[in-house]
Amino acid sequence: MRHRERAIEVSGLWRRYGPKGEGGFDAVRGLDFTVERGELFALLGTNGAGKTSTVELLEGLERPSRGTVRVLGHDPFGERRTVRPRIGIMLQEGGFPADLSVRETARMWAGITTDPRDIGETLDLVGLGRREEVRIKQLSGGERRRLDLALALLGHPEVLFLDEPTTGMDPEGRRDTWRLVRELRAQGTTVVLTTHYLDEAEELADRLAIMREGRVVVTGTPAEVTAARPSRIRFDLPEGVPPARLPLSVPAAVDGRRVEVRTDRLQEALTELLLWARREELTLQGLDARSATLEEAFLEIARGGPGADAPDGHEHAEVGA
Ligand SMILES: Nc1ncnc2c1ncn2[C@@H]1O[C@H](COP(=O)(O)OP(=O)(O)OP(=O)(O)O)[C@@H](O)[C@H]1O
């Protein structure tokens, strides 16, 4: 196993739509990142941040305007014939004839795939084993996504691109898909995931990058990205206690009797608060303390909050090691 070899290397990557100079638009503006083999890397960002424009370059569908992309050591656009058989792309709505059955569609796709997996086995993997004879037009939205995933898996891909893989799936379908993606990763498949579901990214990603306006503004593990955001403590101020008596060394926001504290030192702040409450023999109703979620971190970054002001060009905030 060539575990430490990089699956993807992106350097100074730009993508421009339209003409050079005036009238054109840079959707991707100087990206640098790497994805190790066997890693699950999630690309996040608000609508129009440039995720699809980036992933299309990784998939070799377009040539970068500037910069380089290497997938499994090769240029995915210039060396498409070498790279394409080794990657799997989960297309959004594959656009297959609606009259074909699930099995016929998979067989057709297998016909243009090098050394395809067994069709029945692949459909079983995505939970469509019992739906082989059903026509595409009769599938639910979630089942179509499962079929899209099955087709992406037919060629035993070393790198798998998943674009919004669980859109339209019911909660059970999402869990099943997550389990399958984890199994694939455990078997050494590298996965590049784009998703708007932050719980999905938090659940699956080894590392992630958050994009805004064509740039990566933060990269790191989900824990690193959230650790850089303040934690939150909330509780009800006990009757008869004025806010000024609160023992906290960090500022607290008081709304009616509800108190909210945001802190980078959750354990210290909580200890301070609880010791004070015991000393004063107070009960803190509605006490709730927790670290930032990926969703909170994302919203802050997407809105252009702290850590989001990456300079023009290549640099971005690297969270953690
Ligand atoms: N063919 C095109 N011509 C001109 N501009 C385009 C084209 N395709 C995309 N764009 C613009 O590039 C920017 C990035 O689009 P992109 O689809 O990569 O974003 P995204 O992060 O994938 O968004 P979403 O989450 O909505 O899919 C957007 O401002 C979009 O309007």
What is the total residue count of the chain? 321
| pLDDT for the residue numbered 320 | 43
3-state secondary structure of 71: strand
Q: Which tens digit of pLDDT belongs to each residue from 92-102?
A: 766 778 899 99
Query: Where does the pLDDT of residue 274 fall: very low under 50, low under 70, confident under 90, or very high at 90 and above?
Result: very high
Query: Where does the pLDDT of residue 3 fall: very low under 50, low under 70, confident under 90, or very high at 90 and above?
Result: very low
Say whether pLDDT at 275 is over 90: yes
The residue to mutate among 31, 46, 47, 217, having the most atoms of ligand 1 within 8 angstroms of its beta carbon, is 47
CA 9–ligand 1 middle distance (angstroms): 22
Residue type at 65? S
More confident: 104 or 306? 104
CA 163–ligand 1 middle distance (angstroms): 14
Please state, rounded to an integer, the average pLDDT across all residues of the chain.
89
CA 228 to chain CA centroid, nearest Å:
18
Query: Where does the pLDDT of residue 314 fall: very low under 50, low under 70, confident under 90, or very high at 90 and above?
Result: very low
Ligand 1 atom closest to residue 54's alpha carbon, by position in its atom list:
18
Q: Is 17 near ligand 1, meaning CB less than 6 Å away?
A: yes
- Concatenated DSSP letters of 117-179: PPHHHHHHHTT-GGGTTSBGGGS-HHHHHHHHHHHHHTT--SEEEEESTTTT--HHHHHHHHH
Q: Which tens digit of pLDDT belongs to each residue from 72-94?
A: 999 999 999 999 999 999 977 66
| pLDDT for the residue numbered 249 | 74
| pLDDT for the residue numbered 2 | 47
CA 17–ligand 1 middle distance (angstroms): 9
Compute the C-alpha angle 116/119/124, nearest 5°.
Answer: 125
| pLDDT for the residue numbered 281 | 94
Q: Is 216 near ligand 1, meaning CB less than 6 Å away?
A: no
| pLDDT for the residue numbered 310 | 39
| pLDDT for the residue numbered 227 | 83
ipTM: 0.97
| pLDDT for the residue numbered 94 | 62
Query: Where does the pLDDT of residue 23 fall: very low under 50, low under 70, confident under 90, or very high at 90 and above?
Result: confident
Say whether pLDDT at 22 is over 90: no
* Mean local confidence (pLDDT), 197-201: 93
CA 213–ligand 1 middle distance (angstroms): 10
| pLDDT for the residue numbered 102 | 95
Closest residue by Cα to residue 162 from 43, 57, 50, 6? 43
Say whether pLDDT at 321 is over 80: no
| pLDDT for the residue numbered 209 | 95
CA 53–ligand 1 middle distance (angstroms): 6
Q: Which tens digit of pLDDT belongs to each residue from 100-136?
A: 999 999 999 999 888 899 999 999 999 999 999 999 9
| pLDDT for the residue numbered 93 | 65
By percentage, how much of the chain surpasses pLDDT 70?
92
Q: Which tens digit of pLDDT belongs to each residue from 225-259?
A: 988 788 999 999 999 998 888 887 777 889 989 99
More confident: 221 or 173? 221
Say whether pLDDT at 70 is over 60: yes
| pLDDT for the residue numbered 5 | 65
Q: Is 305 near ligand 1, meaning CB less than 6 Å away?
A: no
Residue 73 CA to residue 116 CA, distance in Å, equals: 23
Q: Which tens digit of pLDDT belongs to each residue from 30-69?
A: 999 999 999 999 999 989 999 999 999 999 999 999 999 9
* Mean local confidence (pLDDT), 22-37: 94
